[in-house]
């Protein structure tokens, strides 16, 4: 993640993505018959720059496609005519380039043929348009005579022209006319930013968090505010307030606006609408709303899925809409609204909404989100080509939960639907429910707690506790036993948190409820990585609240279940390394994550642990190899490519070279997504290769599941 | 003890009434015991976690790791860092910081860099980094 090549590619990725966003916006505007002034120039400029920089970073195929698009745009610019049939081939090209810079394969030949065909058609019509259209056709006006699909083989680009080598780049300055250069350089407003290692930001947050605590402790030590001299009390509260502002600004340093990922969405919605035969207008509101960059990077995939659902399942066919008394034109909106320390991401449509049966079920069985997220449920009568595949709402729901957020759905039959993702503003901040057991404080993400009930009398059935909640029996367990610790007997009239995760529900018994609090989650570190916690939080009174993994609560520890009252057997003195827990077959698979970036490592750990896996982390290949050597339980390895010391490729080869572990599945997740990197990864023996650019946790979990065969 | 080129600076301390030393390069700080929060499910060598400068740091029962019977309560924590992992080790007290010659090899325990005799008393030199590494493997 530190070599100059990668840095260059990251910058390239950002720049090209931005340019593709602009190009697609321009193409969609032209298609909608609303070409703004200068759109054709801007298309030409953007594709020209993409061609140049793609050559620079060695993406010859991207350069070739950009070159072909540039040829087409040159004719368009010269003739001042943009036939509507051109939009499709150009969108195909921008889509393919986007996929390619994100690490996907790009079938370049068909694309170049399509562009060559468009160019030929354009030239033929162009000679007419220049003569006749010079006075009559304003730039960008529709010319239905030129369908983009026309192919004329004799005028195709020659095969040699398909491969624009990197050395074509130096021509850039020469080819580009003067005014366009000036325009290109002012085209992106100069927003100078500073690259900071996220670890440094986290350290800053730690220290600021401690300063906030110090302030509160000082206030506490000085006694009741009312008894303090006015000046002192004012100074104190001003200080505490400043520190809290400082903390908020530090948290905000980790954020980016929604617009950073919203660029490709209008294009995606257009494609969904086309393939579903719907007429849809898509709007984005609140694009400047900020979110944690790690969350933002993972958000694109679930958002695309929800938009696809809205178009395919929500919006009705134009004829059906008219029959229902609506405009034939459907509307889909993406909006982001800050809501305290959470951000509400809403995908809204004015389509058919839920069926009356589903509305009825939701009234009886709990929230609409629960009913709809029930795996495999679809609001459409039939499974369409678009939304029938891929992840369902259940995956979106578990995604929001894994980030400590929640999924809400509002809908009425015939009146459209709103799917609301409630996400934390910053990954480090989580809304938890705090409770006490013994003298200890614990917290669980609010999103996994269904409700809290007072327990009068848990009944015991066959040695296991159970509790009747709303007329239904639920397994119940003392949180101290679930976590494998010990505590004095439960207080009289304990409380039960109904925790639901991984499709299981359990009543977690504790002494008392403290309440809901927004906390900053701090890692417990590698020494406690296997102890079953998401992390811990420092409370305002200075106490530490441990945050157990929800999966551990519903599953319990293998050695705690069925042995109430018996703590894990103590290890032998002088032998660290004996956890004293017999691994039983019901243990979930154990995954090793090798990654030198703290943020990415933590993200992957939380995703995998929330999905119920055991996770071991290593910060480089050497450490990963050591762990694999001594822990026969490791069932899969997820590794970064670039790590100090032994890198991901070397690690993969070392695993493949060890007869005992040669069959261990290896997934490479990396910021290097080029064809060449992928090929090298697969050659080294990796089972799967995923790019961080479009890091998608559903795909990660699906890949893990497939390789482990769970 | 004859001084030679392999003299180093050590933090001398007591654990379970025995004398030990840690190379000063492995020590970040000596701090008070603080408020300990037990972590159910952790290996027995980890007593719990405590708050330290905004971070959460595991506290390790050094006597248990070394196979000793701790009788006196731990009054201080030796804070060490190895491989990016911070941890506190319970000790009775720090007795001094002094220069000592290189320890003899061939110590029995895997967690000692070696042993020596200083002021007529046997002195074990603790390898804090090895202990952290070992617990890291045990904990994951």
pLDDT (tens digit, 9 = 90+) per residue, A557-610?
A: 544 333 333 333 333 333 333 333 333 334 678 899 998 776 677 777 877 877
Dist. CA A670–CA A677, nearest whole Å: 9
**DSSP 8-class letter at A427:** T
Dist. CA A115–CA A103, nearest whole Å: 22
Helices and strands (DSSP H and E) totals, chain A: 25, 23
**DSSP 8-class letter at A317:** P
Mutate to test the interface with B, among A207, A508, A527 (most CBs of B within 10 A): A527
Dist. CA B4–CA A299, nearest whole Å: 62
Residues 6+ apart with CB under 8 A from A414: A324, A352, A353
Q: Give the pairing of strands B27-31 and B18-23.
A: unpaired
**What does the pLDDT look like over A220-252, one tens digit per residue?**
788 887 888 888 888 888 888 888 788 778 777
ipTM of the complex: 0.88
> pLDDT value at position A177?
39
Classify burial at A679, counting beta carbons within 10 Å of its beta carbon; exposed 0-12, middle 13-18, buried 19 or more.
Answer: exposed
**DSSP 8-class letter at A441:** E
Both ends of chain B: CA-CA distance in Å?
42
Chain A residues inside the 8 Å CB shell of B134: 576-577
Is A247 in the B-facing interface, judged by CB distances under 8 Å?
Answer: no
Domain extents in chain B:
8-139
User: Using the beta-carbon criterion (under 8 Å), do B54 and A533 form an inter-chain contact?
Assistant: no
Q: Which of A593, A587, A404 is nearest to A501 (CA)?
A: A404
Q: Which of A268, A240, A471 is nearest to A386 (CA)?
A: A268
Nearest chain B Cα to A208, which residue? B54
Mutate to test the interface with B, among A212, A483, A528, A620 (most CBs of B within 10 A): A528
Q: Give the pairing of strands A634-639 and B85-91.
A: unpaired
Dist. CA B83–CA B65, nearest whole Å: 19
Average pLDDT, chain A: 75
Whether the pLDDT of residue A111 is over 70: the answer is: yes
Whether the pLDDT of residue A184 is over 60: the answer is: no
Answer whether A474's CB lies under 8 Å from A465's CB: no
Classify burial at B120, counting beta carbons within 10 Å of its beta carbon; exposed 0-12, middle 13-18, buried 19 or more.
Answer: exposed
What are the structure tokens assigned to A50, written together? Answer: 């993409």
Nearest chain A Cα to B55, which residue? A206
Q: State chain B's maximal CA–CA distance in angstroms.
A: 49
What are the structure tokens assigned to A558, written together? Answer: 């293998």
User: Using the beta-carbon criterion (under 8 Å), do A544 and B56 form an inter-chain contact?
Assistant: yes
Residues 6+ apart with CB under 8 A from A323: none
Can you tell me whether residue A474 is helix, strand or coil? strand
Paired residues of A515 in beta bridges: A434
> pLDDT value at position A402?
66
* Cα angle A433, A438, A441; round to 5: 30
Q: Which of A5, A7, A13, A167 is nearest to A104 (CA)?
A: A13
Dist. CA B42–CA A530, nearest whole Å: 8
Q: Which CATH class for the B8-139 domain? A: mainly beta
User: Using the beta-carbon criterion (under 8 Å), do A531 and B39 form an inter-chain contact?
Assistant: yes
Dist. CA A605–CA A22, nearest whole Å: 36
The kind and range of the H/E element at B15 are strand B8-15
Q: Given pLDDT bands bounded at 50, 70 and 90, which one contains residue A463?
A: low
Answer whether A260's CB lies under 8 Å from A287's CB: no
Query: Radius of gyration over alpha carbons of chain B, in Å?
Result: 15
Answer whether A417's CB lies under 8 Å from A351's CB: yes
Answer whether B79's CB lies under 8 Å from B59's CB: no
Give the pLDDT means over successive 10-residue stretches in chain B (140 positions): 62 88 90 89 91 87 85 83 87 88 63 80 86 80
Dist. CA A364–CA A344, nearest whole Å: 26
Percent of chain A scoring above 90 in pLDDT: 10
> pLDDT value at position B108?
53
């Amino acid at each position: 993640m530190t070599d100059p090549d990668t840095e260059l590619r990251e910058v390239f990725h950002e720049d090209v993505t931005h340019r593709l966003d602009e190009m697609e916006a321009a193409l969609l505007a032209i298609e909608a018959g609303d070409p703004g002034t200068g759109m054709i120039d801007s298309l030409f400029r953007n594709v020209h720059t993409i061609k140049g920089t793609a050559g620079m970073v060695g993406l010859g195929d991207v350069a070739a496609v950009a070159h072909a698009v540039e040829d087409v745009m040159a004719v368009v610019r010269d003739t001042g005519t943009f036939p509507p049939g051109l939009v499709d081939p150009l969108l195909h090209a921008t889509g393919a380039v986007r996929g390619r810079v994100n690490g996907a394969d790009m079938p370049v030949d068909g694309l170049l043929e399509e562009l060559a065909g468009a160019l030929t058609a354009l030239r033929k019509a162009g000679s007419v348009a220049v003569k006749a259209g010079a006075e009559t056709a304003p730039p960008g006006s529709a010319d239905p005579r030129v369908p983009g699909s026309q192919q004329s083989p004799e005028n195709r680009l020659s095969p040699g022209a398909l491969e624009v080598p990197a050395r074509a780049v130096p021509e850039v300055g020469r080819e580009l006319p003067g005014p366009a250069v000036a325009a290109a350089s002012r085209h992106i407003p100069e927003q100078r930013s500073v690259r900071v290692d996220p670890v440094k930001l986290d350290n800053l947050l730690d220290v600021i968090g401690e300063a906030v605590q110090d302030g509160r402790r000082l206030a506490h030590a000085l006694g009741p505010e009312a008894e303090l001299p006015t000046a002192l009390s004012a100074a104190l509260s001003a200080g505490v307030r400043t520190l809290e502002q400082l903390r908020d600004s530090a948290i905000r340093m980790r954020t980016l606006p929604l617009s950073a990922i919203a660029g490709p969405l209008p294009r995606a919605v257009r494609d969904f609408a086309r393939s579903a035969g719907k007429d849809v207008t898509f709007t984005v509101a609140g694009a400047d709303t900020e979110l944690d960059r790690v969350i933002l990077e993972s958000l694109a995939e679930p958002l695309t899925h929800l938009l696809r659902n809205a178009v395919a399942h929500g919006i009705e066919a134009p004829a059906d809409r008219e029959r229902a008394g609506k405009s034939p034109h459907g509307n889909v909106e993406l909006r982001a609204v800050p809501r305290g320390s959470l951000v509400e991401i809403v995908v809204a449509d004015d389509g058919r909404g839920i069926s009356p049966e589903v509305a009825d079920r939701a009234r009886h069985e709990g929230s609409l989100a629960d009913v709809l997220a029930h795996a495999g449920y679809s609001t459409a009568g039939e499974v369409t080509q678009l939304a029938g595949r891929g992840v369902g709402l259940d995956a979106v729901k578990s995604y929001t939960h894994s980030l400590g957020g929640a999924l809400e759905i509002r809908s009425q039959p015939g009146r459209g639907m709103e799917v609301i993702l409630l996400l934390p503003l910053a990954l480090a901040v989580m809304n938890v429910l705090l409770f006490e057991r013994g003298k200890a404080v614990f917290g669980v993400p609010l999103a996994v707690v269904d409700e809290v009930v007072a327990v009068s009398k848990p009944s015991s059935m066959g040695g296991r506790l159970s509790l009747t909640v709303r007329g239904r029996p639920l397994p119940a367990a003392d949180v101290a036993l679930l976590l494998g610790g010990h505590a004095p007997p439960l207080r009289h009239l304990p409380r039960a948190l109904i925790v639901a995760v991984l499709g299981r529900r359990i009543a977690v018994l504790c002494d008392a409820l403290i309440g809901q609090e927004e906390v900053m989650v701090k890692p417990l570190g590698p020494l406690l990585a296997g102890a079953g916690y998401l992390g811990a939080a420092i409370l305002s009174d200075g106490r530490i609240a441990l945050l157990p993994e929800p999966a551990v609560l519903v599953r319990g520890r293998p050695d705690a279940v069925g042995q109430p009252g018996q703590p894990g057997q103590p290890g032998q003195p002088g032998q660290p390394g004996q956890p004293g827990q017999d691994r039983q077959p019901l243990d979930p698979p154990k995954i090793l994550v090798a990654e030198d970036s703290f943020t990415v490592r933590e993200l992957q750990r939380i995703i995998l642990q929330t999905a119920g896996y055991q996770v071991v982390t290593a910060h480089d290949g050497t450490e990963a190899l050591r762990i694999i050597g001594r822990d026969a339980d490791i069932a899969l390895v997820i590794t970064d490519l670039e790590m100090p010391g032994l890198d991901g490729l070397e690690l993969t080869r070392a695993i493949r070279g060890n007869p005992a572990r040669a069959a261990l599945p290896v997934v490479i997740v990396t910021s290097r997504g080029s064809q060449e990197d992928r090929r090298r990864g697969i050659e080294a023996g990796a089972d799967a290769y995923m790019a961080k650019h479009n890091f998608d946790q559903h795909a990660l979990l699906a890949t893990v599941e497939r390789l482990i065969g769970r | 003890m004859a001084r030679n080129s392999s003299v180093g600076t050590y933090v001398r301390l007591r654990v379970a009434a025995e004398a030990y030393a840690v190379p000063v390069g492995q020590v970040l700080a000596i701090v008070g015991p603080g408020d300990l929060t037990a972590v159910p499910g952790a290996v027995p060598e980890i007593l719990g976690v405590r708050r330290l400068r905004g971070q959460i740091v595991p506290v390790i029962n050094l006597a248990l790791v070394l196979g000793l019977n701790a009788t006196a309560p731990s009054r201080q924590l030796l804070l060490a860092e190895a491989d990016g992992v911070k941890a506190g080790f319970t000790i009775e007290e720090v007795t001094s910081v002094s220069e000592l010659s290189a320890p003899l090899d061939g110590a029995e325990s895997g967690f000692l860099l070696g042993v020596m005799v200083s002021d007529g008393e046997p002195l074990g030199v603790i390898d804090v980094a090895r202990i952290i590494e070992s617990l890291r493997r045990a904990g994951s």
